[in-house]
Amino acid sequence: MALSSPRPQRDPRQLARLLVYARPYRTLFVLGVLATLLSSGLGLVFPRLFGTLIDASFLKVGSSDTAQLDRTVLMLLGIFALSACFGAAQTYLLSRVGASVVADLRRSLFSHLLTLSPRFFGDHKTGDLTSRLTSDVGTVQTVTSTALAQLFSQAVTLIGSVALLVITSARLSLLTLAVIPLVIGTAFTIGGRIRKVSREVQDAVARANADADEAISGVRVVQSFTAEALERGRYDVGVRAAFQAALKRAGLQAVMSGSMTFLTFGALALVLWYGGRQVMAGAMTPGNLVTFLFYAVQVGGTVAGLTGVFNQFQEALGASSRIFELLDEKSDLPESPAPRPLAQARGEVDFVDVAFDYGGSAVFSGLNFHVPAGQVVALVGPSGAGKTSLVNLIPRFWDVSGGQIRLDGVDVRDYRLSDLRRQIGLVPQETLLFSGTIRENILYGRPDASAQEVEAAARAANAHGFISEFEKGYDTVVGERGVKLSGGQRQRIAIARAVLKNPRILILDEATSALDNESEALVQTALEHLMTGRTSFVIAHRLSTVRHADRILVLDRGQTVEDGTHAELYAASGLYRELYDLQFRAQEGEDQPSQNA
């Protein structure tokens, strides 16, 4: 399923799906609604008391009897105090529910993202995904934390005010309420366009975020090619698109707001004109007219307020469609309904008639080989032969298109995915460290390990020496992606992480390809220690790795074309020897290989 389709389906029921996240907080929600009813209900008492006060006190010019005035004012103060308390409780309780819903939504969205396959992340920009997690969820938070409270408060006020309008004066009510269909019609007509444009704003922001994420992640490349102007231009295109869409949305919201204001106050002017004539004719008291005007103002205010809430819900509808579009994305790595237990693997791996397609192209077809437990296998082949794809199939970063990959005689798809991956350690070509401390990065291999175990893993990876030279030692912050460490240091931290994990199967993806000779020697020693007793798959780049492997698999065009030791394959004068002579002989300097090497 492709995300960010140009015209995705917008289903208002997506907002109702948010209520599922409110179930754990239903007690707070009910209390918040109760506080809303009380606060809004008390607010409806004020106009009636004020109208009574006008008829009973203010129109008695020269009277010295202030008893009713005093009682009414005290009652008003009490009502205002209670209304304020219940209003504060309503705002706090419903805002807490909204914030809790959004926090759970963020967790759910992030957790779901972590279950999706690398294929999904390869097809979608990171910036767009993070935009859904931050910007879109933030838009929903505004609605669930603020607009939800306003919705209940204003709905109660509107219903109560309309009822009291009719009780106060049925004729004037007809004049006032005749405007409401116009207001609602305007809200729905313009609101639909606001919803559409809101989605355009969010999509444009996501595209701009994706461009910025790429440029920032690759800032060294950008600067080395002096491509700052190019990247500014790319980002500016997204920003301009977001600005134009936001401007269009603001214009629509302004039209809606202006229309609501005119209709509301126009109706009040008509009420004042007709009501004044009623008072002059003796058909209505001044107090009742004032009471009616207060209720009419409340109706107008709540309708205008609900219009603003409606706008916010339109924006949230665009955001929620993007959020649930992502939450509905299914992983292409399904779990077995009845997984086999896997506490400790032996490490025996079989590829049985394995076929694998990626992007519509066949990578492997009918791939077969057996790797005994504890064997070190070097993978060699020309660029694009499928070496990285092969090792990514073992931990199920991708799934085979046909055939089986077996671990200890069992199809890897029959194991629980987490159990399978606990048996596998990965030291990738581009080492990724997280922006914490050295200790935290090593502990990533086994979070419950002791300080002594962390240090032992670092020693095994030849990392303890340089770590001890830092002022804060293992508590040194490595920076984003480990930027404060050298390539060799990052590599050794990654090896220490793998040592601590203690996997039965090890995958090394050209792990020393970008290191200088000194760093390579240290890393190579650490790798040899790490591979001891483990089934290891090494995407070979350095000569020493190839020659000391128990076995070499030569891949070409989706097949294993050669299989054997270095000496056997070199003597066979096939593809391996050709690759060896092209890629590896220069590393030996004057040391010329022989067929019996």
pLDDT at 64: 62
pLDDT at 116: 86
pLDDT at 590: 42
SS (H, E, C) 282-343: CCCCHHHHHHHHHHHHHHHHHHHHHHHHHHHHHHHHHHHHHHHHHHCCCCCCCCCCCCECCC
Whose tokens are 């499928």? That residue is 386
Specify if 524 maps to a domain: no
Q: Residue 201: which CATH number?
A: 1.20.1560.10
d(CA 355, CA 367): 7
Residues constituting the chain: 597
**Does pLDDT of 434 surpass 60?**
yes
pLDDT at 8: 43
pLDDT at 5: 46
pLDDT at 404: 95
Whether 481 and 433 have beta carbons less than 8 Å apart is answered as yes
pLDDT tens, residue by residue, 246-271:
888 888 888 877 887 787 777 778 88
pLDDT more than 90, % of the chain? 19
Residues 387 and 439 reside in one and the same domain: no
Specify if 2 maps to a domain: no
Specify if 280 maps to a domain: yes
Instruction: Report, in angstroms and rounded to the nearest whole number, the Rg of the chain calculated over CA atoms.
Output: 35
Q: Please give the DSSP secondary-structure letter assigned to residue 582.
A: I
The residues facing 367 across adjacent strands are 354
Give residue 470's Cα distance to chain centre.
35
Of 448, 480, 502, which marks where a domain is finished?
502
Mean pLDDT is lowest, of 81-85, 356-360, 435-439, for 356-360
**Does pLDDT of 11 surpass 80?**
no
The parent domain of residue 139 ranges over 15-327
pLDDT at 271: 80
Of 305, 327, 349, which marks where a domain is finished?
327
In the sheet that holds 535-539, the strands lie side by side as 424-427, 505-509, 535-539, 376-380, 551-556, 559-564
**Does pLDDT of 472 surpass 80?**
yes
Tokens (6 digits) for 216: 């920032």
Residues contacting residue 139 through CB under 8 Å, at least 6 positions apart: 202, 315, 316, 318, 319
Residues 294 and 437 reside in one and the same domain: no
Q: What is the mean pLDDT of residues 198-227?
A: 76
Specify if 7 maps to a domain: no
Residues 362 and 480 reside in one and the same domain: no
**Does pLDDT of 57 surpass 80?**
no
Q: Residue 454: which CATH number?
A: 3.40.50.300
Give residue 256's Cα distance to chain centre.
32
**Does pLDDT of 62 surpass 70?**
no
d(CA 541, CA 161): 79
Q: Please give the DSSP secondary-structure letter assigned to residue 361.
A: E
pLDDT at 468: 92
Amino acid at 287: G
d(CA 427, CA 435): 18
> Binning pLDDT at 50, 70 and 90, where does residue 197 land?
confident
Q: What is the mean pLDDT of residues 87-115?
A: 87
Residues 318 and 348 reside in one and the same domain: no
Nearest residue to 266 (alpha-carbon basis) of 187, 176, 334, 201:
176
Alpha helices in 25-66 (DSSP H): 26-53
d(CA 526, CA 523): 5
**Does pLDDT of 493 surpass 50?**
yes
d(CA 567, CA 338): 45
Residues 163 and 219 reside in one and the same domain: yes
Tell which wins on pLDDT, 352 or 194. 352
d(CA 499, CA 510): 18
Specify if 410 maps to a domain: yes
Residues contacting residue 156 through CB under 8 Å, at least 6 positions apart: 36, 37, 40, 41
Give φ, ψ of 429 to 5 degrees.
-65, -45
Whether 299 and 154 have beta carbons less than 8 Å apart is answered as no
Residues 144 and 269 reside in one and the same domain: yes
Tell which wins on pLDDT, 486 or 456. 456
pLDDT tens, residue by residue, 400-433:
999 999 999 999 999 999 899 999 988 887 788 8
Amino acid at 574: G
d(CA 286, CA 250): 41
pLDDT at 163: 86
Mean pLDDT is lowest, of 21-25, 202-206, 587-591, for 587-591
Query: What does pLDDT average to over the chain?
Result: 82
> Binning pLDDT at 50, 70 and 90, where does residue 452 land?
very high
Tokens (6 digits) for 138: 């933030």
The residues facing 205 across adjacent strands are none
Return the ∠ at Cα 313 (arms to 307 and 315), rounded to 5°. 110
CA dihedral over 524, 528, 530, 534, signed as positive or negative: positive
Of 269, 302, 327, which marks where a domain is finished?
327
d(CA 494, CA 458): 10
Tell me the DSSP string of 126-175. HHHHHHIIIIIHHHHHHIIIIIHHHHHHHHHHHHHHHHHHHHH-HHHHHH
- For residues 123-147, one letter each, b for 16 or more C-beta atoms within 10 angstroms of the residue's C-beta and e for the rest, the string is ebbebbbebbbebbbebbbbbbbbb
d(CA 427, CA 492): 10
Residues 408 and 440 reside in one and the same domain: no
In the sheet that holds 402-407, the strands lie side by side as 361-371, 349-358, 402-407, 410-411
Residues 412 and 446 reside in one and the same domain: no
Q: Please give the DSSP secondary-structure letter assigned to residue 60.
A: S
- Count up the domains in the chain and report the number: 3
Specify if 5 maps to a domain: no
d(CA 560, CA 514): 26
Beta-strand relationship, 424-427 and 505-509: parallel
Residues 441 and 589 reside in one and the same domain: no
pLDDT at 256: 79
pLDDT at 390: 93
pLDDT tens, residue by residue, 507-535:
987 655 555 666 667 777 777 788 888 99
pLDDT at 591: 45
**Does pLDDT of 305 surpass 60?**
yes
Alpha helices in 396-486 (DSSP H): 417-422, 438-443, 451-460, 464-469
pLDDT at 414: 94
Specify if 3 maps to a domain: no
Give residue 3's Cα distance to chain centre.
13
pLDDT at 597: 42
Give residue 289's Cα distance to chain centre.
54
Amino acid at 560: T
pLDDT tens, residue by residue, 149-182:
778 788 888 888 888 888 888 888 887 777 777 7
pTM of the model: 0.70
Residues 135 and 222 reside in one and the same domain: yes
d(CA 143, CA 181): 25
Specify if 405 maps to a domain: yes
Residues 385 and 267 reside in one and the same domain: no
pLDDT tens, residue by residue, 501-514:
989 999 987 655 55
Residues 116 and 181 reside in one and the same domain: yes
